[in-house]
Amino acid sequence: MVNLKIDKIDVSVPEGTTVMEAAASVGIKIPSLCYLKNINEIAACRICLVELKGKDKLITSCNNVVQEGMEIYTNSPKVRSARRTNVQLILSQHDSRCTTCLRSGNCALQSIANDLGLMDNPFPDDWVDEGWPRKYPLVRTSQKCIRCMRCVQVCDKIQGMNIWDVANTGSRTTIGVTGQRKLENSDCTLCGQCITHCPVAALHAREDWQGILDKMADPDVITLVQVAPAVRTAWAESLGFSREEATPGRMAAALRRLGFDYVFDTIFSADLTIMEEGSEFLSRFDSLKEDGMPMFTSCCPGWIRFVKTQYPQLVPYLSSAKSPQQMFGAVSKTYFAKVLGVDPSRLFCVSIMPCVAKKHEADIPTINAAEKGKDVDCVLTTRELARMIRADRIVVGALQEEPFDQPLGLGTGAGEIFGVTGGVMEAALRSAYYLITGKNPEPDSFREIRGQEPWRESELNMGGTRVRVAAVSGLGNTRKLIEKILRGEKHYDFVEVMACPGGCVGGGGQPIHDGEELASVRGEALYRLDKKNPLRFSHENPCVQQLYKEYLGEPLSEKAHELLHTDHNS
Ligand code: HC0
Ligand code: SF4
C-alpha cells in the first residue's frame, strides 16, 4: 500500500492507483472533462490539475500515480486559479450558447463552468450555426468540440473503427474524420458510442421528434408507436425517476399523454423475430455445417453496417430476418391496417430506440416490404422520448400504469431480454429447444450466455443435436471474435452480435451520464422483467400465434418472407 495525504487527509491505496482515484477513495471528487478510465487517460483538458507539495508545477491527477509520502492539494489557490483559467480557455473556443444547446443541463463543461462561478465568457467569439436540418443521423457540431479526444479513443479502443482523428495543429487543432473523408463516406457504423461519451454536444444524434408533432396534429393520420426493449430500462433516467418507478406501464401512459393513437411494444416483434430467425437457423443448420461457418444474428443495424464494410464476405451468413423494429413496421402497415380496416397510407409508424443506427436502418430502401411504403416512418432515440416528455411537462410520478395496446403490444420475457447482450441468443435457444425436442426447457437454463465478458460461448445438447453458440458485444470485441472464426480457432453454429458494449441497454441513443457506464444495471432490469413475465417463450406469445394463424401462415412462409426478411443488399 502507498500512504499519502490529500487535502490533509491520510490516504492509503494500492500501488499504481492514480491521484484522482486515491482522492475519490476518501470522497474527494476532482473535476475532469476528458478522463475515461482505461480509455482516455491523456489529461487533454487540464482540469484535473492538483498541487503536489514541493513541486513548482501542478500535476494532472488522472494519469499520475500515487507515491509514498506525497502531499496533494486539490483546491489550493494555485489549483483554483489554474483550473479557472483552463476552463476559460476551453470556453474561448467553444460555442457557449447554452440555452439552445441539446446538452444544456447535461453538459460536463456547462456544469464545471457553473460550479466555478464563471458568469461570462471572457473571450467570446461569433459562432455561425452550421445549419439544420441535417440528413446523416450522427451530427458533429465542430464549434462545440473541446478536443478532449474521448470520441477518438472510444471509436478506436472500444469499437475498433478509428473514424475520428486529430486534424490541424496549434490553436487550429480540431477533430476530423480519418482520411479527410466526410463522415457520411466513412465506415462509421452509427453505433453512437462517440456521442454517449462526448462531454458536451459536439457529437449528437439527429433529432426527429418535431416532425411527429405535425403528424399527431393531423386528424387523417393514425400514429402508432413501438418501444424497444432497452428503452424501458432508461427512459426516465434523465427525468429524475428511478428504474423501479419508471415501469413499462408508466412509459405506456406517458406515450398516450404525448398523443400517440396506439402504443405498442417491440418485444411483440422480438418474439416474431425468434419464430423466423429460429426456424431459419434450423433450416440452414446442415449447410452452415458444411461451410464451417455460423449464422449471425441480423437485428443490430450497427453490426450490419460493420459487417458490410469490414467483412463483406460474411454477409451471406447473416440471418435474413429483419430486425424486430422493421418486422413491427411491416406487420403494422399490413396486418394491423387490415385489423383497423384502414388504408396503410394513413398509418404513421414511430419507433423509440436506444440506438442511432436504427434511424439509418429505417431508411434503407430495400428493407421495406414491397409496395407498402416505409415499414417505419420515424425513429426516435430514448433521449428524444425524454425530451418530448419534458416538453409536454408530463410528470412521470403522477402517471398510473397503463397496458400496451393489442395485438402488437404483447411480448414475452424472451422478447424483453433482446435488449441485453446474449438476450437474443437466449430467447432463440428457448424456442429452438422446443422446436427440436417438442418440449420447453427450464426458461433460465441457458444463462451461461449472460454476463459482461467481451463474449460468452456455450455448447448445448438439444435432443441429441450439438449446438455451439456465442454472444459478443462491442465492435472491437466482435472483430477479435470474427478473426478467430476466420482463422479456424473458434467454431460456432450461431453467433449473436450487438455493436454496443453490453447490448442495446448500452446503446448510443440512451441517456448520457458523463463517464458512467450503466449497461449492466439496465441489463439486470431486463432480466427482472423477464422473470416477472408470465410468458417466457416467444413461441407461446398468443398474439404472434394469432398473427401466423390469421395472416402469415407459418414461419418462413412466402408471406413471411415478403414482409419479414431482407437480403441485406444496400
Ligand atoms: Fe435493440 Fe432490437 S434489441 S436491436 O438492441 O433484435 O435498438 O432494445 O429494439 O429491432 O427487439 C435496439 C433494443 C431493439 C430491434 C429488438 C433486436
Ligand atoms: Fe465510431 Fe461509432 Fe462514433 Fe461511428 S458512431 S464514429 S463507429 S464511435
Q: What is the pLDDT of residues 528-556, one digit of tens each?
A: 999 999 999 999 999 999 999 999 999 99
Q: What is the CATH number of the domain that holds 151?
A: 3.30.70.20
ipTM computed for the complex? 0.92
Instruction: Check pLDDT > 90 for residue 173.
Output: no
Q: What is the per-residue pLDDT for 129?
A: 58
Q: For residue 354, how far is its CA from the centre of ligand 1 (angstroms)?
A: 8
Provide, rounded to the nearest whole percent, the portion of the chain with pLDDT above 90.
88
Over residues 408-424, the pLDDT tens digits come to 999 999 999 999 999 99
Q: Which pLDDT band holds residue 168 (cuts at 50, 70, 90)? A: confident
Distance separating the N- and C-terminal Cα atoms of the chain: 57
Atom 6 (ligand 1) nearest CA: 299
- For the Cβ of 205 lying below 6 angstroms from any atom of ligand 2, the answer is no
Contact 352, 226 (CB under 8 A): yes
**Whether 393 and 486 share a structural domain:** yes
Over residues 371-392, the pLDDT tens digits come to 668 999 999 999 999 999 999 9
Q: What is the mean pLDDT of the chain?
A: 94
Cell digits for 61?
491527477
Domain assignment present for 331: yes
Cell digits for 239?
427525468
**Whether 366 and 464 share a structural domain:** yes
- For the Cβ of 28 lying below 6 angstroms from any atom of ligand 2, the answer is no
Ligand nearest to the CA of 507: 1
**Whether 461 and 489 share a structural domain:** yes
Q: What is the per-residue pLDDT for 132?
A: 54
Q: Which pLDDT band holds residue 170 (cuts at 50, 70, 90)? A: confident
Q: What is the per-residue pLDDT for 120?
A: 74
Domain assignment present for 118: no
Cell digits for 31?
473535476
Contact 407, 253 (CB under 8 A): no
Atom 17 (ligand 1) nearest CA: 299
Torsion of CA 28, 32, 34, 37, to 10 degrees: 0
Own/partner long-range contacts of 8-15 (Cβ < 8 Å, ≥24 apart): 11/66, 13/66, 15/65, 15/66
Domain assignment present for 122: no
Q: Which atom of ligand 1 is nearest to the CA of 357?
A: 7
**Residue of 154, 161, 307, 498 with the most ligand 2 atoms within 8 Å of its CB, for mutation:** 161
Domain end among 30, 60, 89: 89
- For the Cβ of 149 lying below 6 angstroms from any atom of ligand 1, the answer is no
d(Cα 98, Cα 526) in Å, to the nearest integer?
35
Domain end among 205, 237, 254: 205
Q: What is the CATH number of the domain that holds 56?
A: 3.10.20.740
**Whether 173 and 320 share a structural domain:** no
**Whether 488 and 445 share a structural domain:** yes
Q: Please give the radius of gyration of the chain, using alpha carbons only, rounded to the nearest integer.
A: 25
Q: What is the per-residue pLDDT for 125?
A: 62
Domain assignment present for 121: no
Specify the higher pLDDT residue, 133 or 556.
556
Instruction: Check pLDDT > 90 for residue 10.
Output: yes
Domain assignment present for 188: yes
**Whether 253 and 179 share a structural domain:** no
**Residue of 153, 158, 159 with the most ligand 2 atoms within 8 Å of its CB, for mutation:** 159
What is the tally of structural domains in the chain?
A: 3
Which residue, 244, 267, 246, is CA-closest to 535?
Answer: 267
Helices (H) and strands (E) in the chain, counts: 19, 17
Domain assignment present for 111: no
Local structure of residue 487 (DSSP, 8 states): T
Q: What is the CATH number of the domain that holds 340?
A: 3.40.950.10
- For the Cβ of 234 lying below 6 angstroms from any atom of ligand 1, the answer is no
- By residue range, what is the domain housing residue 295? 218-570
- For the Cβ of 354 lying below 6 angstroms from any atom of ligand 1, the answer is yes
Q: What is the per-residue pLDDT for 134?
A: 65
Q: Which pLDDT band holds residue 117 (cuts at 50, 70, 90)? A: confident
Q: For residue 517, how far is its CA from the centre of ligand 2 (angstroms)?
A: 17
**Whether 73 and 176 share a structural domain:** no
Count of Cβ atoms closer than 10 Å to residue 76 Cβ: 15
Atom 3 (ligand 2) nearest CA: 194
- For the Cβ of 189 lying below 6 angstroms from any atom of ligand 2, the answer is yes
Q: Which atom of ligand 1 is nearest to the CA of 231?
A: 8
Cell digits for 519?
449497461
Q: What is the per-residue pLDDT for 133?
A: 57
Q: For residue 473, how far is its CA from the centre of ligand 2 (angstroms)?
A: 15
d(Cα 355, Cα 191) in Å, to the nearest integer?
7
**Residue of 136, 163, 183, 195 with the most ligand 2 atoms within 8 Å of its CB, for mutation:** 163
Domain assignment present for 126: no
Domain end among 150, 175, 205: 205
Q: For residue 206, how far is its CA from the centre of ligand 2 (angstroms)?
A: 14
Q: For residue 228, how far is its CA from the centre of ligand 1 (angstroms)?
A: 6
Over residues 272-281, the pLDDT tens digits come to 999 999 999 9
Q: What is the per-residue pLDDT for 528?
A: 97
**Residue of 306, 325, 408, 522 with the most ligand 1 atoms within 8 Å of its CB, for mutation:** 325
- For the Cβ of 159 lying below 6 angstroms from any atom of ligand 2, the answer is yes
Q: Which pLDDT band holds residue 131 (cuts at 50, 70, 90)? A: low
d(Cα 321, Cα 273) in Å, to the nearest integer?
7
Q: Which pLDDT band holds residue 345 (cuts at 50, 70, 90)? A: very high
Q: For residue 190, how far is its CA from the centre of ligand 2 (angstroms)?
A: 5
Q: Which atom of ligand 2 is nearest to the CA of 190?
A: 5
Domain assignment present for 458: yes
Ligand nearest to the CA of 322: 1
**Residue of 36, 136, 138, 358 with the most ligand 2 atoms within 8 Å of its CB, for mutation:** 138
**Whether 512 and 443 share a structural domain:** yes
**Whether 169 and 282 share a structural domain:** no
- For the Cβ of 376 lying below 6 angstroms from any atom of ligand 1, the answer is no
**Whether 294 and 155 share a structural domain:** no
**Whether 237 and 195 share a structural domain:** no
Q: Which atom of ligand 2 is nearest to the CA of 499?
A: 2
Cell digits for 144?
462545440
- For the Cβ of 66 lying below 6 angstroms from any atom of ligand 2, the answer is no
Q: Which atom of ligand 2 is nearest to the CA of 192?
A: 5
- What DSSP letter does each residue of 102-147 carry, written as one string? TTTTS-HHHHHHHHTT--S-SS---PPP--S--SSSEEE-GGG---
Q: What is the per-residue pLDDT for 463?
A: 85
Tell me the CA distances in angstroms from 212 to 164, 225, 379, 384, one per residue in order.
32, 11, 10, 11
**Whether 461 and 428 share a structural domain:** yes
Over residues 238-251, the pLDDT tens digits come to 999 999 899 999 99
Provide mean pLDDT across the span 506-510. 98
**Residue of 191, 323, 566 with the most ligand 1 atoms within 8 Å of its CB, for mutation:** 323
Say what the pTM is: 0.93
Provide mean pLDDT across the span 170-175. 81
Stretch among 16-25, 31-40, 132-141, 488-497 having the lowest mean pLDDT: 132-141
Ligand nearest to the CA of 176: 2
Q: What is the per-residue pLDDT for 127?
A: 61
Tell me the CA distances in angstroms from 261 to 217, 348, 373, one per residue in order.
11, 10, 20
Q: What is the per-residue pLDDT for 180?
A: 87
- For the Cβ of 228 lying below 6 angstroms from any atom of ligand 1, the answer is yes
Instruction: Check pLDDT > 60 for residue 233.
Output: yes
Query: What is the Cα 43 distance to its own chain's centre?
Result: 27
